[in-house]
């Protein structure tokens, strides 16, 4: 057991420390990539060629790397939203719905001409997006905290509700919808509400950098603030948190809402920075992928950065791989899922070591032993 | 609403509930033994594609069912290996299996692009044509594909298995107190493996019933549309009892059937709000019923034989 010293100054982890804590995910990811390679080989394509194309598609040029960064923006924000939940012991799987609500919020203030200076207009769009998503997150948050309804089911049900809500808002008779469009979509955002393009010839918008900043911010919040301490306590031992005077119910609701706000920010950035409109089904799979990011990261916001960049490189490279070698584009989500399954499957030896250490101190563990979750929550 | 519309709606209710009920049968078993198989959404999706693909390739519904069962065994065994042997978090395992299935089905469906145009052979209707015109009962019961009829019998079979057989008693014992069950000489792991694999088989068959029961085609991009999660909710609402869970599935199926009918009607309410209906009803039902249900005592908790 490591002895925790009281830090005299704010300690930033070194690369070595990060690398050590990353051994398990890295083994899992390697196994996932090998398994993905086997699948590619089974479909009759040389896996080395395919992965080569993928690497080239992700890091081959400045342009392709900017593509990786663009794709990483929702994964960073969504991932850190889920990660915060994991630290507190809740599964905030509603990122997809939050993204839709964030996009709707951004559209409500971003589409009408408000005659605001760009900085203010963008900020307003992002903030309203976050507020819409937070209101959406209030539903599963309240139900989980005060009614004991399992948040996985409610958030996933609400994802579908959000999809249909968006579909309604961007279909024709509604004021936000584009007139006479071939596909349900909203009107174009005002110039002043669009995020700037950082590099000519690419679609690089500041989303990834906002995401990076948020991840780093949450790392410090979790580690060095009372809020962060209570959050982690809630995840490790909800009873201890309750006895030490934390209002656990309010806390759980708040954490789900903060996760929702991050999802909303991701959605708002996606529409103001990349799509410039709200399309009917503009979020595809990012919801589940954010959960994957947070899981591989083990709920650590700094590790979220690494995981999100890795998965977005996989996605950006996957598009190139699909064009060059004919491997279907959905292969990337298969590889992502395999990676996570291997990461959690490999992780058992570490937990066994931990539980051995615990067993010595605490001989009687009954019933829901080893379960982090409150057994009363359904 | 006219009388015909109500009959039509009842018929559709049974048809749309059938896949849910079939999936719930297996899931009740695995949850009774303490394992939440969150991957049923993904297994259902895979079963849906598998059914269509095999029916398209061979033209035989029987072959579809057999291959779907094999697929269910494989996917169920994967979930069992991870959650029972490796004791991974059951939520995570299930969600990632769903992601895997979503990507996998999209990938394979891309290869099967010719099947998009054709409507494959679907499940046959058992009862003779003459019975179809009997008022009410004819269209509601006798015009149904065989999968619907099986779905109506399954919950009864399951409650007999669960409450009247030794094996069912073992399953319930393991879900409530695995340590005592192990002391009594029951192999906890073996029975958990059995129930989770069964939940895989029924989830795959439920997916197969979704595509081969009525529509006869597969749509990429997750055509199960959260039905696996609706089943998970139905089980909580039904209090882990096979019959009550099936009734909850019927309610959700009724919402689904109503939604599909209301969409095409001219009304001031936009059709998207009808589409939300099944999901909203699921959330409301969960909220109302959640405190009244008796949860299997080790529901969702990993079993470690070293815990005493």
Q: What is the pLDDT of residue B305?
A: 66
Considering A132-136, A205-209, B262-266, the range whose residues carry the highest mean pLDDT is A132-136
Q: Does B306 touch chain A (CB under 8 A)?
A: yes
Q: How far is A378 from chain B (nearest CA, A)?
A: 7
Across the interface, which of B95, B102, B307 has its CB nearest the CB of A285?
B102
Q: How far is A121 from chain B (nearest CA, A)?
A: 30
**A12-35: pLDDT as tens digits:** 555 555 555 667 778 888 888 888
Q: Does B222 touch chain A (CB under 8 A)?
A: no
The number of folded domains in chain A is: 1
Quote the tokens at residue B36: 């939440």
Q: Does the pLDDT value for residue A98 go beyond 90?
A: yes
Q: Does residue A122 lie in a domain region? A: yes
Q: What is the pLDDT of residue B117?
A: 62
Q: Does residue B92 lie in a domain region? A: yes
Chain B environment of A332 (Cβ under 8 Å):
103
Q: Does residue A191 lie in a domain region? A: yes
Average pLDDT, chain A: 80
Close Cβ partners of B90 (under 8 Å, ≥ 6 residues apart): B35, B36, B37, B38, B83, B300, B302
Q: Does residue B210 lie in a domain region? A: yes
Residue contact B290–A378, C-beta within 8 A: yes
Per the structure, the complete domain to which residue B86 belongs is given by 3-116+146-292
Q: What is the pLDDT of residue A22?
A: 64
The number of folded domains in chain B is: 1
Q: Does residue B87 lie in a domain region? A: yes
Q: Does the pLDDT value for residue B78 go beyond 60?
A: yes
**A199-243: pLDDT as tens digits:** 777 778 888 899 999 999 999 888 888 888 888 888 888 888 888
Residue contact B106–A289, C-beta within 8 A: no
Q: Does residue A34 lie in a domain region? A: no
Residue contact A152–B91, C-beta within 8 A: yes
Residue whose token pair is 């109506």: B152
With cut-offs at 50, 70 and 90, classify the pLDDT of residue B115.
Answer: low
CATH code, B13: 1.10.3470
Q: Does the pLDDT value for residue B218 go beyond 80?
A: no
Across the interface, which of B82, B272, B293 has its CB nearest the CB of A164?
B272
Q: What is the pLDDT of residue B73?
A: 92
Residue contact B100–A338, C-beta within 8 A: yes
Q: Does A290 touch chain B (CB under 8 A)?
A: no
Q: Does residue B128 lie in a domain region? A: no
Average pLDDT, chain B: 81
Q: Does residue B219 lie in a domain region? A: yes
Q: Does the pLDDT value for residue A134 go beyond 90?
A: yes
Quote the tokens at residue A271: 């529409």
Mean pLDDT throughout B107-118? 70
Q: Does residue B230 lie in a domain region? A: yes
Q: What is the pLDDT of residue A331?
A: 82
Mean pLDDT throughout A281-310? 85
Report the alpha-carbon distance of residue B249 to residue B247 in Å, rounded: 5
Q: Does residue A351 lie in a domain region? A: no
Q: In chain B, which residue's Cα lies nearest the Cα of A358?
A: B307
Q: Write B253-258 long-range contacts (CB < 8 A, 24+).
A: B253/B13, B253/B14, B253/B15, B253/B16, B253/B17, B253/B18, B253/B20, B254/B9, B254/B13, B254/B16, B254/B17, B255/B281, B256/B16, B256/B17, B257/B9, B257/B12, B257/B13, B257/B15, B257/B16, B258/B9, B258/B13
Q: What is the pLDDT of residue B255?
A: 83
- Say what the ipTM of the complex is: 0.85
Q: Name the residue with higher pLDDT: A190 or A303.
A: A303
Per the structure, the complete domain to which residue A193 belongs is given by 74-312
Q: Does residue B96 lie in a domain region? A: yes
């Amino acid at each position: 057991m490591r002895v925790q010293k009281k830090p005299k100054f704010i300690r930033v982890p070194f690369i070595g420390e990060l690398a050590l804590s990353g051994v398990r995910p890295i083994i899992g990811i390697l196994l996932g990539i090998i398994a993905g390679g086997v699948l590619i080989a089974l479909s009759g394509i040389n896996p080395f060629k395919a992965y080569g194309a993928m690497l080239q598609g992700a890091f081959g040029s400045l342009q392709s790397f900017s593509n990786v960064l663009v794709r990483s923006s929702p994964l960073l924000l969504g991932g850190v939203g889920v990660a915060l939940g994991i630290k507190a012991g809740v599964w905030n799987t509603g990122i997809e719905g939050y993204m839709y609500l964030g996009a709707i919020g951004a559209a409500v203030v971003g589409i009408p001409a408000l005659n605001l200076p760009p900085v203010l207009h963008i900020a307003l769009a992002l903030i309203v997006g976050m507020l819409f998503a937070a209101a959406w997150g209030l539903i599963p948050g309240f139900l989980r905290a005060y009614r004991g309804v399992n948040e996985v089911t409610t958030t996933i049900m609400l994802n579908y509700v959000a999809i249909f809500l968006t579909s309604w808002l961007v279909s024709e008779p509604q004021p936000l919808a584009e007139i006479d469009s071939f596909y349900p979509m909203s009107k174009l955002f005002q110039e002043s509400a669009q995020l700037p393009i950082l590099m000519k010839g690419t679609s690089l918008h500041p989303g990834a950098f906002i995401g990076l900043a948020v991840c780093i911010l949450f790392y410090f919040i979790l580690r060095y603030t009372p809020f962060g301490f209570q959050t982690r306590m809630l995840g490790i031992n909800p009873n201890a948190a309750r006895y030490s005077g934390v209002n656990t119910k309010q806390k759980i609701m708040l954490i789900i809402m903060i996760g929702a706000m991050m999802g909303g920010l991701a959605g708002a950035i996606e529409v103001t920075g990349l799509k410039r409109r709200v399309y009917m089904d503009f979020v595809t799979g990012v919801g589940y992928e954010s959960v994957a990011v947070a899981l591989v990261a083990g709920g650590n916001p700094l590790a979220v950065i690494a995981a999100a960049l890795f998965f977005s490189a996989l996605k950006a490279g996957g598009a190139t791989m699909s064009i060059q070698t004919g491997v279907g584009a959905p292969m990337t989500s298969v590889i992502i899922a395999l990676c996570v399954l291997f990461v959690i499957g490999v992780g058992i030896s570490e937990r066994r070591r931990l539980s051995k250490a615990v067993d010595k101190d605490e001989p009687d563990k009954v019933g829901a032993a080893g379960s982090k979750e409150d057994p009363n929550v359904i | 609403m006219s009388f015909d519309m109500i009959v039509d709606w009842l018929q559709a209710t049974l048809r749309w509930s059938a896949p849910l009920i079939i999936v719930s049968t297996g899931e009740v078993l695995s949850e009774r033994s303490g394992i939440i198989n969150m991957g049923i959404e993904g297994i259902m999706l895979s079963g849906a594609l598998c059914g269509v693909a095999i029916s398209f390739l061979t033209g035989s519904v029987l072959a579809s069912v057999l291959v779907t069962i094999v697929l269910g065994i494989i996917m169920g065994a994967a979930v069992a290996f991870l959650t029972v042997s490796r004791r991974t978090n059951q939520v995570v395992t299930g969600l990632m299996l769903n992601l895997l299935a979503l990507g996998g089905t999209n990938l394979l469906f891309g290869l099967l692009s010719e099947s998009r145009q054709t409507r494959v052979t679907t499940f046959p209707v058992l009862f003779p044509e003459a019975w179809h015109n009997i008022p009410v009962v004819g269209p509601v019961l006798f015009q149904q594909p065989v999968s619907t009829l099986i779905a109506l019998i399954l919950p009864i079979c399951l409650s007999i298995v669960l409450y009247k057989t030794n094996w069912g008693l073992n399953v319930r014992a393991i879900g409530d107190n695995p340590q005592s069950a192990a002391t009594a000489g029951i192999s906890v792991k073996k029975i958990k493996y059995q129930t989770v694999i069964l939940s895989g088989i029924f989830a795959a068959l439920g997916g197969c019933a979704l595509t081969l029961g009525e529509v006869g085609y597969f749509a990429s991009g997750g055509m199960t549309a959260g039905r696996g999660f609706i089943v998970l909710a139905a089980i909580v609402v039904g209090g882990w009892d096979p019959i009550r869970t099936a009734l909850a599935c019927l309610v959700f199926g009724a919402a689904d059937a109503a939604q599909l009918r209301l969409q095409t009607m001219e009304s001031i309410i936009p059709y998207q709000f009808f589409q939300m209906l099944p999901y909203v009803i699921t959330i409301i039902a969960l909220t109302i019923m959640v405190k009244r249900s008796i949860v299997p005592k080790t529901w969702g908790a990993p079993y470690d034989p070293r815990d005493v």
